[in-house]
Amino acid sequence: MTEVEYPPYEESAQLARYIQKYPRSFTRNPTQPFIRRPLTLSELTGPVGLESRLEIGDGDLSRRAPDGPRAIGQFISVSGRVVDQDGAPLAGAVIEIWQANSAGKYIHEMDRHEAPVDPNFTGQGRLVTDAEGRYSFLSIKPGAYPVMESDWWWRPPHIHFSIFGPSWMNRFVTQIFFPGEPLNETDLLLNAVQDPEARDRLIFGTTATRVGKVNMLGFRRDFVLRGKHRTPALD
Amino acid sequence: MLVPSPYCTIGPFFPGQFVEGCEDLTRFDGRTARGQHILLAGRVVEEGNLPTLNVVLEIWQPDANGVFRHPLDPRSRDADPGFFGWGRARTDADGRYRFRTVIPGSYRTGDGTLRCPHVNVMVLAIGLTRRLVTTLFFGDAPDDVRDPVLGCVSDRAARRRLFAVRDSALDSEGLTAYRFDIVLRGENETPFFLD
C-alpha cells in the first residue's frame, strides 16, 4: 500500500493570502516564510470518528424541530460528495455548515447588521458523509449582507462548510456561493482565486428542477480534499 | 489527479455552539483522560501586538502515552478510552483562549525517530483565507529538545517560541497552566509550517 501524500496547496488554485481592501489580511498573515517539515504520524493522523464527540443533526436546517414550522425563504436542498485527489470517497467525514438566514442575518453576537432574526432558523448544522462520501441537507437560501467594517462591501449569498477529512492535513474550511448572483462579481473573497476553474469550484451547481409534493430548488457541490495514493494501486 | 477545493476564510460568524464544550479534552465518552491534566492557555495577537477577538484554534495531539486515536497509529488499540485528542477554542476580546488537556506523550515514528511531546495547532480567522498551522512543544530546556519537526526551524529564537511555558499565574481549578502565545504577524512572530 502506498503511503498517503499531502503535497502543499497550489497557490494558483487557492485564494490569495493578501487581498486589497480586506485589511485583516495585512495584519494577520505572517511575514516569515512558511517552514517545510516532514509529515509524521502526528500530522498524518487526525480526528476521525468525531461523531462520537460532536452532536450530529438531522440534515434539515430549514426548521428547528422535525415537525416545526419552516424558516422563511427559498427552500433548498444541497448535496454533493467529498472525495480525495484520487476521486476516492471520504466516508464518515464530519461536515459543519453555517449560514445567514434569508434576510442576511446570522445568529451570532458579532453580527451587527440590522436585519431580522428568523425564530425558525438556527443557520447551523452538522452532518456525516455516507459510505460513498455523499452528504445532503435541506435549508433556505441565505440572503446577502453588508460587511459593517467596510463602506461598500456586500457579501453575496453563501454557505460556510467545515470538513474533517481523515487527517490533520486535510482539515478543510471554505464558503460556497450561489450561481448567477450579481454580488459574486464584486466579492473580495470569491474573486481572490486567480484560476477561473478553481473559482468555479466555490460556486454551487444546480440540479434539474422538479415539481412534486414537497418542492425545493436543488444545489450541488463536490469537495476534493487534499490527499492522494490513499488506495492501493491496481497494477 | 483532482485539484483540492479552494480554502476560504472562516469569517466572523462561526457558531458559538460549535465551540462550546470543545475546549475540554480531558473527558470523553463518560471517562476521564489518563495523565497529567493541564490548562493550555495564551493569547493570540496580530500586528502591533494587538489582541485578536474571535480567532478559532483547533488542536490535535496524542494521549498521555503518545498514542493517537486513529487507524494509522499501530498502537491505536491502546489509545486512552477517555481521550479523543481534538479540541477547539475561540479567543475573547483580549485575544485569550484556554484548553483543558493532558501533557501528550512522546512516540517513535516508523523509522525510530523520537517525536517529543507536542500539540498540533491550527488557526482560523477573518483575514486568513487559509488556516495557519504550527506545533507547540513542552520542555524546560528548549535548546536540548531533538524533534524532526522542531528541527526544521533553524532560528534558535523562533524555535523557542514554539514552546509552551509553565505559567503559575494562569493556574486555576487546581490545574497547572502552560502558556502558549501566538503572534500571527510582527515582532516575535510564531513560526508557521508550510501547509
Determine, yes or no, domain membership for B1: no
On average, the pLDDT of chain A sits at 94
Count: domains in chain A: 1
- Show the domain range for B94: 16-183
Determine, yes or no, domain membership for B10: no
Cα→Cα distances A51→A43, B2, B17, B20, B84, Å: 21, 27, 15, 15, 11
Determine, yes or no, domain membership for B27: yes
List of chain B residues whose C-beta atoms are within 8 Å of the C-beta of residue A38: 148-149, 152
Count: domains in chain B: 1
Determine, yes or no, domain membership for A232: no
Residue A51, classified by CB atoms within 10 Å of its CB into exposed (0-12), middle (13-18) or buried (19+), is middle
pTM of the model: 0.97
Is A188 a residue whose pLDDT tops 60?
yes
Average pLDDT over residues A125-131: 97
Model pLDDT for residues B47-94, shown as the tens digit of each residue: 999 999 999 999 999 999 999 999 999 999 999 999 999 999 999 999
Determine, yes or no, domain membership for A2: no
Is A31 a residue whose pLDDT tops 70?
yes
- Show the domain range for A65: 11-224
Model pLDDT for residues A59-70, shown as the tens digit of each residue: 999 999 999 999
Determine, yes or no, domain membership for B58: yes
Determine, yes or no, domain membership for B86: yes
Cell of B172: 486555576
A231 pLDDT band, cuts 50/70/90, is low
Q: Do A193 and B153 touch (CB under 8 A)?
A: no
Determine, yes or no, domain membership for A235: no
Q: Do A46 and B60 touch (CB under 8 A)?
A: yes
A234 pLDDT band, cuts 50/70/90, is very low
- Which of A106, A126, A135, A226 is flagged as catalytic? A106
Q: Do A29 and B128 touch (CB under 8 A)?
A: yes
This complex has an ipTM of 0.97
What is the SS3 assignment for B28?
A: strand
Average pLDDT over residues B16-39: 97
Query: At A148, which CATH number?
Result: 2.60.130.10
Is A196 a residue whose pLDDT tops 50?
yes
Say if strands B27-28 and A124-128 run parallel, antiparallel, or are unpaired: unpaired
Determine, yes or no, domain membership for A5: no
Determine, yes or no, domain membership for B142: yes
Average pLDDT over residues A35-39: 96
Query: At B29, which CATH number?
Result: 2.60.130.10
Cα→Cα distances A31→A74, A131, A185, B111, B133, Å: 44, 42, 30, 34, 14
